[in-house]
Structure 1
Amino acid sequence: MSNNHGTRRFSQVVNGLLERFGSPPGQATHFPGARQTSALLALPDDILLLVLALIDPDGLLICKQVCVSLSRLVQHDVRSQYRIELAVTGMVDGPPSDVTLTERLEQLREHRARSHSGQFSRDESIWSEVDARVQVLTSDGTILYAMRRPGGYKLDVRTPSRVQAATSVGSYCLSIEAGQNSHFEAMDMAQNLLVISEATNDTWEVTVRLLDITSGEGHADAAEPIIRTMSEQGRPLLVQIHQQYVAWLVLVPASQKRNVEIWDWHTNRLVWCRTFRPQVSFTFLDTSHILVTSGRQEVMEVFYLDDPAYLVGDIIDPFLSLELPLGAFRCSVHHDERSRIHSSSPPPDAPFIPNPMLSVFAVRFAIYATDLSNALLLVPGSTFREQIQAARDSDESHHRVFWHEWGPKGGLLLNLSGPEVIPRAVFSPCGSRFPMLIRDKWRAGSAQIVIFDLNPWAARAAQSNPKSSGSLTVMKDASSFRFRTLRASIPHVAYQGPRLSFPKEHKPTYVNMNHDGFTVLHEWKPPYQERLGFGYQTFFV
């Protein structure tokens, strides 16, 4: 930030504060902010700290950078330092607990050092021969490997040492009873929740079991450890867990349509259900809104989950539609079609959690941009929040926004059709970050992780200090991920992550990112259905 720009912004911050207190800023001086700053600094330190608490983190940092007196004050105030550190790391303060503010600041700085470290340790396992009875899930660095045994499954749950410190369980084995038609659908390590479905022979009924992943017994937080639903496919699809909710797709019996069902797994109550065409995908934006792609494949639709007038079974329409670029088709929320990548809910006792305004949502689609291309659109939560608020303020029951009105400045559009991008791999975001795999053009069977970070603070830091000792390296040129004519580019930075090699004839199929590193699953070359072997590599700091 230049001195002139910083001074102007500082003057704006001071003027804003004085106006909030009812004091006119007075006449402009030759040095912007001089008279206003004098009025502000005349306040006692304890009052001045209360005033600084009214400034957003951007303004707080400007005060620290431009004014020597305020810089000293901020430097010795733990709360001000904590607020700046939260913004830099893309976090918000967690719920009240016994953890003091000083301890939170120390833990946050440790987290920042880990998340920006370029030094990774690696944990690797390879199973040379497996069959269709083996099922795998991953969540936040933890791998669940389920092997079929007479009368049930043996679970091998592996948590890398660095990740283990942030979870309530470590690596262990467990046996559970389950029928022949059982499927491991989802897990949430923060809530120790494992979701298993089992089809009933000769019927469309599906039993969904809610288990404690540490014991294999029914989960204590569930009113009943079983939810029953109907699906012609014999199991729910795209199962997602979001705090107290569990959601899935079911194929409506004797129909080509699908229902999106959302259950409160604490109370075993169906809270939301809607029928869609077969080509449907969804994800939670928060506990009050769900994002859906369906029908016309060039729009994203947002539905309320907490409408007090809604009754299960009502025919409801989206209250907000966001259009994609003209010519987009086959739009879907970016997901693992085999439903094996999962992200846990924030732990209830976490001192700080990812800022939902910065959390990335990924939507993929095809488009003719000169040539037929595969596109990936990364949208931060702040963009959805802004559009949701505009829809609430509108008199329209269905608020529709064209691409040019929101897209170019509301997301980051990436081109996945380049030769360096590894096809078929699925990626899982973590907060404001999104990982991708690119080929190593110098070594066959090798790849590198690239991390896109949509936190504007990270983008500014990368511009001012592109390479600091021991930290992630900023990519000098990410133009190969851009379209020539189609643009959507909010502030962001791309980092070079760790390099990895795969066993002979193995290909990566998904990358799961967490706050301590990455988990990469690789399987035998296509067709993957042969299941001749697979393994995983976990990188952690």
Structure 2
Amino acid sequence: MWQRRRRTFLSLPEELLHHILCMLDFRSLLRCRQVCRYFAAAIQNSSSLQYPIELAVSNMEDGPCSALGPAARLRRLKTHREAWDTLNYTMREKLPILEGAALELYKGILVQVSGDRTIHFRQLPSSFRDIDERSWTIEDVGFAIADIGIDPSQDLLVVIEKPPTDGNPILIHLRKLFMDEPHPCAKSPGVLSHNPQGIEHTYTIDVCEDLLGVLFDPAPESDFEIVVWNWKTGVRQFWCHDRHIMSFTFLSNREILLGLVCRSHQTKETREQIPMLVVVDVRDAYTQQLASDNVDFLCEFHFPRLAAGTEPSELAICAKPAPSPHARPHMQVPFYPSNHDRLLVMTLWAFSDDIEISTMLFVLSSAILSHVRSLQGRKGHCFHWEEWGPENSRLMQVPHDPFSLWVRYACGTKFISAPSRDGTNGVQIFDFNPLPIRRWLAKRLEADKSDTEISQYITQSTVLKSPIFAQEVTSALPYRVHALKPLTLGGDNEYDYVMLCEDSIIILGTDHQYHIFTF
């Protein structure tokens, strides 16, 4: 009976079979390749069928329809990926580092503030993705700037106005990114207001679709505050304060991930202070201010137990870009980075015997969301490190100067590490996208090709011995690392910091220039 069905299906016209296969996602195509030789050959010999598979391997999504067909897009995609794997950049330029209140690098746009009222924008190019270089300036926003954030996919510019005196409400202006006017999707007059505790605030800004989150970091002795608005309606969705909330990121257009550097947790033996990640559904309408202990959180993810006497001091989360289903609407790019899975980079600073030690925890957002979804609506669950950490994360010592962590060092599933001060290693790019690793493992089973690989693949678990943790910590999230040729800056210039976005590596040199390497 099975043989008859298979012959009947394969007897369909070749064009119809190809059309059916084109409707499948990449996972289904990979399964079909294993069904029979006919399917394997049909998929292997078709650019239309190879393209979605290679998009997934590159952590990309297909762009809008254009004159560029699947075959041409596939060629560009592979060339783009090879350029990143070999650091074979297509263009290099320098820009002056401006003295100003803020800096942002997001979705290929570098933003600098000069003075306290002028904003300079530079859209970084990409020959592979048909992105032209573009520059524009807002000469005077009309007030002193405290900080900025952008979301190019929504033509959104968020500008926080520096309050004239301490104690004044902080105004958040919602404007169009490509034109100096209030954003038409924001409720008139396009300004949000908040009066946080404390003085001398710094800010963390993040946007996810219609949600705008701002973390207000005050001078010492006051609580951090995080507020999430629906920026289109002006309605506050979430408002929480805590001395230990030092960072956040959006997991989706519902869930937000909070980094708590230290929170009391009752065990059978004692009450411990444990760094943790807390997931909250911001659509639950926390319109009134709450302490974090009163928030009805979905779940929390614990770090490994700290050693006796360890004092955690800071926990930073970096994950860019925020999850968003669309590329920039005005750009006809053939493909663009996927936001379905992102690398979450958590950096924990802690003191042990008065020595500050920093560690980095790498986790994919899909792993966190998978645990959240497994609860099926139940709230308040605690995932101890042993339950979630060893298989879903990679814990390691900070591979570069920890004081450089304000820059954008993560993008998609990639993390970039600056050269070490002693010169023992150059720029390194860590990629936690699991699909290239699985492909490499499959090829290695067929034939030993490890000697020809550009990247080093880390698939075995590692053990971190650190004085800040009570025990040795094992972690096993696979990744690959490009130990790449040096990017020379010329002359006697040295690296200060290094940043990463979709199509560029940006090095901040000691010559006060941005050295931009574009792919």
Band of TM-score, shorter chain: 0.7 to 0.9
Corresponding residue of 2:266: none
2:76 is paired with a residue of what secondary structure?
A: helix
**TM-score normalised over the length of structure 2:** 0.77
1:363 deviation in Å?
A: 0.9
| 1:266 and 2:232 correspond | yes
Decide whether the 8 Å contact of 2:321 with 2:412 is kept in 1. Answer: no
Q: Which residue of 2 aligns with 1:334?
A: 317
Cα deviation, 1:172-228, whole Å, max 9, x if unaligned, reads 33312333x422322233333222222343442111112223332222332232111
Residues 456-508 of structure 1 deviation map (CA, whole Å, 9 limit, x = unaligned): 2211344545577xxx9313789999625422122221113452346758652
Is structure 2 residue 430 aligned with structure 1 residue 460?
Answer: no
Identity between Structure 1 and Structure 2 (%) = 19
Q: Give how far 1:65 is off.
A: 6.3
| Aligned ranges 1:373-384 → 2 under 5 Å | 373-384=357-368
Deviates more, 1:359-368 or 1:277-286: 359-368
Residue in structure 2 matching 1:195, options 155, 158, 170: 158
Q: How does 1:29-108 map to 2 (within 5 A)?
A: 42=10, 44=12, 57-58=26-27, 60-61=29-30, 63-64=32-33, 67-75=36-44, 79-93=48-62, 98-99=65-66, 103=69, 106-107=72-73
Q: 1:93–1:353: 8 Å Cα contact kept in structure 2?
A: yes
SS in 2 for 1:438: coil
* Structure 2 CA distance for aligned equivalents of residues 520 and 160 of structure 1: 14
Count residues with an aligned counterpart: 473
Shift of 1:171: 1.8
Give the alignment partner of residue 493 of structure 1, picking from 480, 487, 490.
480
Q: Structure 2 regions of 5+ residues with no counterpart?
A: 264-273, 444-448, 466-471
Change (3 A) 1:343 1:448: farther
The 8 Å contact of residues 200 and 218 in structure 2, kept in 1 or not, is answered as no
CA displacement at 1:98 relative to structure 2: 4.0
Alpha-carbon distance in 2 for matches of 1:398, 1:458:
36
Alignment root-mean-square deviation, CA: 4.0
Give the corresponding residue for 1:20. none
Q: For residues 516-535 of structure 1, what are the structure 2 equivalents within 5 Å?
A: 516-522=503-509, 534-535=512-513
Aligned to 1:16: none
Contact 2:252 2:323 (C-alpha < 8 Å) held by counterparts: no
Of 113, 116, 125, which residue of structure 2 is paired with 1:146? 113
Matching residue of 1:14: none
Partner of 2:271: none
Per the alignment, residue 327 of structure 2 pairs with 347
Alignment deviations for residues 121-147 of structure 1 (CA, whole Å, 9 cap, x no partner): 3212345xx65x564332234322322
Secondary structure at the aligned position of 1:408 is classed as helix
Once the two structures are superposed, what CA deviation does each residue of 1:313-345 show, in whole Å capped at 9, x if it has no partner?
A: 464221111111111844623349xxxx97795
Distance 2:129 2:22 in 1: 32
Deviation, structure 1 residue 300: 0.9
* SS of aligned partner of 1:327: coil
Q: Structure 1 residues 87 and 108 mapped into 2: Cα distance closer, same or farther (>3 Å)?
A: same
Instruction: Indicate conservation of the 8 Å contact 2:461/2:477, yes or no.
Output: no
1:52-451 pair list within 5 angstroms: 57-58=26-27, 60-61=29-30, 63-64=32-33, 67-75=36-44, 79-93=48-62, 98-99=65-66, 103=69, 106-107=72-73, 109-117=75-83, 118=86, 119-120=88-89, 121-126=91-96, 133=100, 135-148=102-115, 153-162=117-126, 170-179=134-143, 181-202=144-165, 203-224=167-188, 225-231=190-196, 232-233=198-199, 235=201, 237-250=203-216, 256-294=222-260, 295-296=262-263, 297-307=274-284, 311-313=287-289, 315-327=294-306, 329-330=312-313, 332-335=315-318, 346-349=326-329, 352-366=335-349, 373-392=357-376, 396-416=378-398, 421-426=400-405, 427-439=408-420, 448-451=426-429
Question: Which secondary structure state, in structure 1, belongs to the residue aligned with residue 171 of structure 2?
Answer: strand
Runs of 5+ in structure 1 lacking a partner? Answer: 1-22, 26-34, 524-532
